[in-house]
Amino acid sequence: MTTMKRDETATALNPRTDAERVGRPAFLGPNSCCLRARPENLHFEPARTALVVVDMQNAYLSEGGYMHAAGFDIGHAQATIAQTARVIEAARAAGVTLVYLQNGWDARYVEAGGPGAPNWHKSNALKTMRQRAELDGTLLAKGSWDYEIVDAVRPQPGDLVVAKTRYSGFFNTPLDSLLRSRDIRTLAFCGVATNVCVESTLRDAYHLEYFCALLADASTHAGPDETFRATLFNIETFFGWVSHADAFIEALSTTSPTTA
């Protein structure tokens, strides 16, 4: 199977068609949207869909934030912010539920875990602070600038904001309950990092029986470009569908009968 490269997401999707049955969930109501996606199109109902905006924080997207301080390339940050803002605007206008995930810990880092927790050993934010004393207490701490969601995509009243302390938005959070209480069955993902928190949350969502689509050009990765391509392969092959911002916005503007 061939997968999308970093810059191919806008041209490698399937044309819209109502012929396929795969990608057409059995629970669909009388009208649905058709999202052009890989490996096949995905049908969804806006009222039963949530846009999951993952960790769009200064830590991951701004100069001086954790990722920048740790030496990761944040060159895709501004493009990701711009695409995510477009997707959020369209989703909100179409009645799609907005869910913001926000990653970090309390100011004393109790939630991060001590040396007995693997997170203490693997978190690059924690390691960076141990290596650079001047950053101690500044990275991903609740209430800090680093923890804040960037201004361009800030939540609005009525949006759901879920704080998390590990990569997956479902771990030790009320996310699943919040979604099920709203009868949400389909999740569209954007945000950062594609290969870490986005993929971790999407995998857990799949195991919880949600239909999942990644909007690839509204997401950016941590590490070399092959990590981004690997995540696209994993999602379209095993866990869901891969699409892009324009296709999602287009789908929200058009409904189609859900005939078999």
Does residue 5 have an active-site annotation? no
Does residue 197 have an active-site annotation? yes
Q: Which of the residues 33, 34, 190, 197 is marked catalytic?
A: 197
The helix (H) or strand (E) run that includes residue 199 is helix 199-207
Query: What is the rounded CA–CA span in Å between residue 250 and residue 260?
Result: 22
Beta carbons within 8 Å of 57's beta carbon, 6+ residues apart: 65, 102, 103, 104, 140, 146, 147, 148, 149, 150
Q: Which amino acid is at 236?
A: E
Q: Which of the residues 164, 190, 204, 212 is marked catalytic?
A: 164
Q: Which of the residues 33, 34, 55, 190 is marked catalytic?
A: 55
137 touches 116 (CB < 8 A): no
Q: How are strands ordered across the β-sheet holding 97-103?
A: 160-164, 97-103, 49-54, 186-192, 211-220, 241-243
**92: which 2 tokens?**
């909100």
Q: Could you give the C-alpha distances from 142 to 66, 72, 106, in angstroms and in order?
A: 13, 22, 5
Cα maximum dimension of the chain: 61
Residue positions annotated with a catalytic role: 55, 164, 197
